[in-house]
Amino acid sequence: MDALLILGGLLLILAGLVWLVMRAFGTSLLWGCAALLPPLTLLFVLRHWRRARQALGLSALGFIPLVVGLTLLASQDSERMAAILSLRWLESESRPASELSIELNGVLNGQPFAPQHGELIDGVLRLREGQDFFAHRELSIRLVQRVGDGLRVDVLPTDEGVLPEVELSWLLPEQELPEARRLNRGYSLHLDLQPQPPNKLVGDFHLVLPARFKTTLSGKVELFSDGLRYRDGKVDRQVDSSDTLAFVIEDYLQRRFATRQVQLQPLPPQVLPAQSLELTVEARIDGQEQRLPILLRKTDVRGWAVQADQFPPLPEVAREPTDLQASAPAAAPQPEKKVSRPLDRRLRFSLEGLLRSPSRYQNLAMRVATERGNTAEGRFQGIDQQGRIVLQQRLGGTGQASFRLRPEEVSRIELLEP
């Protein structure tokens, strides 16, 4: 409504000015040419008021809807109003520099798609355009295959069974929340990704969705495989991410206990960015379970580091010659042990079971739908003191978002991992 009032007011003002110039040309050619210059237009109005007053009245009438529209816009969206008045929309849009080389041709929801960020973490491939909290356009593919030395996926529209789930989301300028569409069959997908040290996947990407989705993408992609970032061949400790914190803590524990046999458990939820964090971490060190308090601080020089960390680096591991390994006697074959397959927790999963035993589903991926029709997806972090379900979702780059949902608001909950 506010946009229509502003547009209508501007059109009335413009129509009045055009009529005024036409009246000036009707008076004489000289006055017509003079009316095209703003200072002389005012002179024409003063000298020929009777001829100019109707056109001037039309322009003045246009200021009424213009002022009303601007007032409504300022009360509903002050940031958008400030952006209009500051004339930032006249500046050419500069695309932020990307750390990845992504060369895709095609459209997403009928619009050109130029993602600046891509990742394949925890079996979910994401391509994201935009640096805000909500992406302007985003493509997510929840893969079924595991990523090992490489990844190759081929899906045809006629394929059946368990297939990767494709989700599109986009945010229009007049919307506060993004729209999303999801499908799990009836599309074409080709992925051929190969690992590239230290933490990237590079290869071909081709996706064609049904015509109603208006999405066709083809080209080369480069994806991050974790939340670490590197600078000059070393981990950049300035980056705010859970993977950076885990790397810093694991390195600290290895040097503190003088052993490389450190298996760090998933870290508790953190609020990033931050300058300091106090965590209680669990780790298996030389076969023994340890529970340790850790105080992390971030500085401009070192980045993230454990406070009072003065332990020396571990010595380099010496490699044995290959000829000695070849001459060693072959070990006797061990009898095969029967390995029982773990129970798939998705079969009997329910909201009541989650509230009864939350620790059983800690750090597993879930999808929750609310009574209002909203959908939240992320990793389960537990139940807070108010009894709300806490999910944590990784955003584009190194950001994270937390969702807290009351059990009575949940209409459907789905466990996405076994």
The CATH number linked to 274 is: 3.10.450
Q: For the domain that residue 355 is a member of, what is the CATH number?
A: 2.30.30.100
Retrieve residue 260's tokens.
């490389």
Residue 345, classified by CB atoms within 10 Å of its CB into exposed (0-12), middle (13-18) or buried (19+), is middle
Is 267 found in the same domain as 168? no
Please indicate, yes or no, if residue 331 is contained in any of the structural domains.
Answer: no
Is 107 found in the same domain as 195? yes
CB atoms within 10 A of CB 351: 14
Is the pLDDT assigned to residue 80 strictly greater than 90? no
For residue 324, name the pLDDT band (cuts at 50, 70, 90). very low
Residue 264 · residue 245 · CB < 8 Å: no
pLDDT tens per residue across span 352-390:
888 877 877 888 888 888 888 788 888 888 888 788 888
| Mean pLDDT, range 36-47, rounded to an integer | 83
Is 86 found in the same domain as 109? no
pLDDT > 90: what percent of the chain? 36
54 to 17, 26, 48, 103: CA distances (angstroms):
11, 14, 11, 57
Q: Residue 409: what are its φ and ψ, rounded to 5°? A: -85, -15
Is 136 found in the same domain as 79? no
Of 175, 203, 224, which residue constitutes the final position of a domain?
224
Retrieve residue 283's tokens.
């780790």
Residue 363 DSSP SS3: coil
Please indicate, yes or no, if residue 316 is contained in any of the structural domains.
Answer: no
| Mean pLDDT, range 47-57, rounded to an integer | 85
Please indicate, yes or no, if residue 403 is contained in any of the structural domains.
Answer: yes
Is 144 found in the same domain as 63? no
Q: Element (H or E) spanning 19, and its range?
A: helix 2-27
Please indicate, yes or no, if residue 147 is contained in any of the structural domains.
Answer: yes
Of 175, 193, 224, which residue constitutes the final position of a domain?
224
Residue 201 · residue 223 · CB < 8 Å: yes
> What contacts 218, CB < 8 A, 6 or more positions away?
104, 105, 106, 205, 206, 207
First CA to last CA distance, the chain: 49
Please indicate, yes or no, if residue 326 is contained in any of the structural domains.
Answer: no
Is 115 found in the same domain as 191? yes
| Mean pLDDT, range 313-321, rounded to an integer | 68
Q: What global pTM score does this model have? A: 0.57
In 3D space, the residue among 146, 147, 129 whose CA is nearest the CA of residue 195 turns out to be 147
| Mean pLDDT, range 252-281, rounded to an integer | 90
Is 280 found in the same domain as 220? no
> What contacts 317, CB < 8 A, 6 or more positions away?
260
The Cα 11–Cα 13 span in angstroms is 5
14-23, 47-56, 187-196, 232-241 — which one is most confidently predicted on average? 187-196
Residue position matching structure tokens 């100019």: 52
Is 194 found in the same domain as 162? yes
Query: What range does the domain containing 115 cover?
Result: 103-224
Own/partner contacts of 307-311, CB < 8 Å, gap of 24 or more, are: 309/252, 309/255, 309/256, 311/252, 311/255, 311/256
Please indicate, yes or no, if residue 336 is contained in any of the structural domains.
Answer: no
Is 293 found in the same domain as 369? no
Is the pLDDT assigned to residue 214 strictly greater than 90? yes
Is 398 found in the same domain as 290? no
281 to 23, 142, 266, 366, 380: CA distances (angstroms):
81, 29, 8, 23, 18
In 3D space, the residue among 82, 132, 135 whose CA is nearest the CA of residue 111 turns out to be 135
Predicted local distance difference test score (pLDDT) of residue 20:
86
Distance of CA 153 to the CA centre of its chain: 23
Of 90, 123, 157, which residue constitutes the final position of a domain?
90
The Cα 239–Cα 235 span in angstroms is 9
Is 112 found in the same domain as 68? no
| Mean pLDDT, range 271-296, rounded to an integer | 90
Is 277 found in the same domain as 201? no
| Mean pLDDT, range 409-414, rounded to an integer | 88
| Number of domains observed in the structure of the chain | 4
Retrieve residue 143's tokens.
């893969």
